[in-house]
């Protein structure tokens, strides 16, 4: 898989504040790449730099294997802030204005409306749209000219559950068509559901980058319980594959092992030690837990 964007040692300061510090990572072509971090982590600053809205103090980046240029930027669709449309005009008319500003053909408007699922409401006033429809119109605007790359800053921010689902489904459909999508978000659930790769930022520093399941390590653990969990906790430490006993959850013990443990074998092993389990279940830590562990928050 080729690299669509390569960031090398990007740093940016606002006075004495380090917005970004020596950030480097690559984004594979065809990926849905999440830029993840809490508010104030530098996500929007980073997107501003790669779209040439901001200049870095240090570092460079290449887009599609070449330095950024006007030609390269025309291959990118961007949504970097709250949609700014005329409320009294229709969705179609707003896209006509956007196409004129971007110097794109109006002939592309029916295509992006269809992709965004707004064909049936294209002649309705923007003010009558739901929050999800407004955001989908903004993404439709970003897709004018059929760019190879879409850059979206918090595309689901402020939406209700229905609107979030609408935007999520649109991003999935665009990804299936072969687009590379770069999206900043602090919504862990959305990153897990749509992103293939992720970079994690905290206070302007890079904590990790790569495939989601690699960066957000989420090792399996086993939940166990017995009539006497104190004795069980003492005994389980003698298991040959034991690694760690995690804090109890709802009266249960959470145990990690250095290899995949067959649950039936574990049950038999505990019985041989003279303790019988009344709860035995394989589980996986949540993405939220993995994120909080990674960011030391």
Alpha carbon distance 270, 257 (integer Å): 15
Q: Which pLDDT does position 142 carry in this prediction?
A: 93
Q: What pLDDT is recorded for position 159?
A: 83
Second-level CATH architecture of 3-215:
3-Layer(aba) Sandwich (3.40)
User: C-alpha angle 197/71/184, rounded to 5°?
Assistant: 25
Assigned token pair, 96: 């006509």
Query: Cβ-count burial of 177 within 10 angstroms (0-12 exposed, 13-18 middle, 19+ buried)?
Result: exposed
User: In the chain, pLDDT over 70 holds for what percent of residues?
Assistant: 92
Confidence class for position 243, pLDDT limits 50, 70, 90: confident
Task: Look up the CATH architecture of domain 220-294.
Answer: 2-Layer Sandwich (3.30)
What residues does CATH 3.40.50.300 cover in the chain?
A: 3-215
pTM: 0.76
Q: How far apart are CA 228 and CA 242, in angstroms?
A: 19
Q: Which of 289, 226, 214, 219 is nearest to 256 (CA)?
A: 219
Q: What are phi and psi of 226, to 5 degrees?
A: -150, 180
Which percentage of the chain shows pLDDT scores above 90? 44
Residue matched to tokens 């407004």: 134
- Outline which parts of the chain fall under CATH 3.30.70.100: 220-294
Quickly state the pLDDT bin for 268 (edges 50, 70, 90).
very high
């Amino acid at each position: 898989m080729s690299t669509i964007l390569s960031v090398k040692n990007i740093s940016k300061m606002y006075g004495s504040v380090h917005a970004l510090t020596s950030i480097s990572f690559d984004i594979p072509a065809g990926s849905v790449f999440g830029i993840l971090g809490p508010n104030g982590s530098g996500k929007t600053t980073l997107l501003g730099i790669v779209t040439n809205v901001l200049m870095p103090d240090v570092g460079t980046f290449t887009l599609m294997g070449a330095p950024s240029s006007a030609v390269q930027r025309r291959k990118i669709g961007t949504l970097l802030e709250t949609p700014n449309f005329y409320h009294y005009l229709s969705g179609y008319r707003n896209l006509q204005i956007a196409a004129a500003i971007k110097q794109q053909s109006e002939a592309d408007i029916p295509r992006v409306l269809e992709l965004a699922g707004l064909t049936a409401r294209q002649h309705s006033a923007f003010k009558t749209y739901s929050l999800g429809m407004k955001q989908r119109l903004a993404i439709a605007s970003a897709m004018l000219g059929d760019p190879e790359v879409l850059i979206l800053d918090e595309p689901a921010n402020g939406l209700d559950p229905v609107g979030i689902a609408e935007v999520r489904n649109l991003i999935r459909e665009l990804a299936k068509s072969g687009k590379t999508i770069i999206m900043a978000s602090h919504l862990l659930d959305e990153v897990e559901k749509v992103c293939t790769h992720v970079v994690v930022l905290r206070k302007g520093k890079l904590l990790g980058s790569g495939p989601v399941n690699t960066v957000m390590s989420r090792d399996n653990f086993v939940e166990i319980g017995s009539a006497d969990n104190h004795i069980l906790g003492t005994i389980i430490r003698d298991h040959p594959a034991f690694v760690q006993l995690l804090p109890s959850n709802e009266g249960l013990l959470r145990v990690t092992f250095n290899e995949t443990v067959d649950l039936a074998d574990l049950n038999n092993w505990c019985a041989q030690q003279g303790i019988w389990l009344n709860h035995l279940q394989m589980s996986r830590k949540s993405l939220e837990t993995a994120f909080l562990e990674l960011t030391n928050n």
